[in-house]
Structure 1
């Protein structure tokens, strides 16, 4: 599987990188860090092919490259608005536009709250186009006892939406999950 991961905005950028930590070995990840995210993050990761957000000619900017899914974690309201309006002026927004035109899974994890009416309208528009709008919202049934466990729950839910196998959280009704 080829995955494009865009980390936009600085707040919550660490969560975008934690998303990488649990990826199965067979996932090829192309990482795009916005300039704001680069300011906060100075890490290198294995199995990650880094791209500059201003490299609009990078491989993941073309549908013919064959990215299977795209995730933007976190997704700033600016990035979300650009995607909703069809603006593809950065590699991150171009990767989202490619996912939409190719009808491939696109996941956006908005990072701000409360959501403004404009942001909610943009999310609704994108959701109607099949985009997964999945902010990091606690799932209390997972009975997470730490922030790290809650982050694994969010990442697991995002993996579920993108079709990436994992065992990051206790599923409802599973033998290792919640008793009924």
Structure 2
């Protein structure tokens, strides 16, 4: 993998998206898109990270000719997920996701709310049938996690697995 679009949507869970970014290998070029709601938290706490403007529909990731290997949205708000499920591309984040679907490139969404409503589950199912990885941050207790940092590493490692990114972020199950 050479290029990755990283989206961060919703106000809650911004730290998990940032932890994902920090864990990326240095040789992966990342393009970060932050939703309006996530911007409030993002700008107050992480002004030094370069990001694309979510209102810039002319940004490179809005075009299918922009060569990108995959896209993730961590966390993914239910609003963003619903827009993607119904083809609403009203900002750079949802437009970039639409391009990934159109070009049949890997797209991973990490929904952040629970419990899931029937509408959210229906939208996730629709996207899953289209090949989108629906991968909410769900605890894996077999991974010998005893801290929040190790749990975040488990989530990030599982997402890396789906994207084909090698890592040693968590202890893999080796049987009893």
> TM-score normalised by the shorter chain: which range applies?
over 0.9
1:117 is the counterpart of 2:122: no
User: Whole-Å Cα distance in 2 between the matches of residues 109 and 80 of structure 1?
Assistant: 9
Q: Counterparts in 2 of 1:1-180, with a 5 A limit? A: 1-42=2-43, 43=46, 44-45=48-49, 49-173=50-174, 179-180=175-176
Shift of 1:38: 1.1
Superposed CA deviations along residues 6-28 of structure 1, whole A, max 9, x for unmatched, are 00011001100110111111100
Name the TM-score, length of structure 2 as normaliser. Answer: 0.95
User: Whole-Å Cα distance in 1 between the matches of residues 171 and 53 of structure 2?
Assistant: 36
Name the TM-score, length of structure 1 as normaliser. Answer: 0.93
Aligned residue for 1:51, secondary structure, equals: coil
- Count of residue pairs brought into register by the alignment: 172
User: Whole-Å Cα distance in 2 between the matches of residues 76 and 5 of structure 1?
Assistant: 14
Aligned residue for 1:66, secondary structure, equals: coil
Shift of 1:59: 0.4
Q: Which runs of 5+ in 2 are unaligned?
A: none
Superposed CA deviations along residues 32-55 of structure 1, whole A, max 9, x for unmatched, are 01111110012123xxx5101111
Superposed CA deviations along residues 102-150 of structure 1, whole A, max 9, x for unmatched, are 1111000001001000000000000000000000000000010100100
User: Whole-Å Cα distance in 2 between the matches of residues 159 and 120 of structure 1?
Assistant: 23
Runs (4+) of structure 1 exceeding 2 A deviation are: none
Q: Which runs of 5+ in 1 are unaligned?
A: 174-178
User: Whole-Å Cα distance in 2 between the matches of residues 6 and 59 of structure 1?
Assistant: 14
RMSD between aligned residues: 0.9
User: Whole-Å Cα distance in 1 between the matches of residues 9 and 66 of structure 2?
Assistant: 22
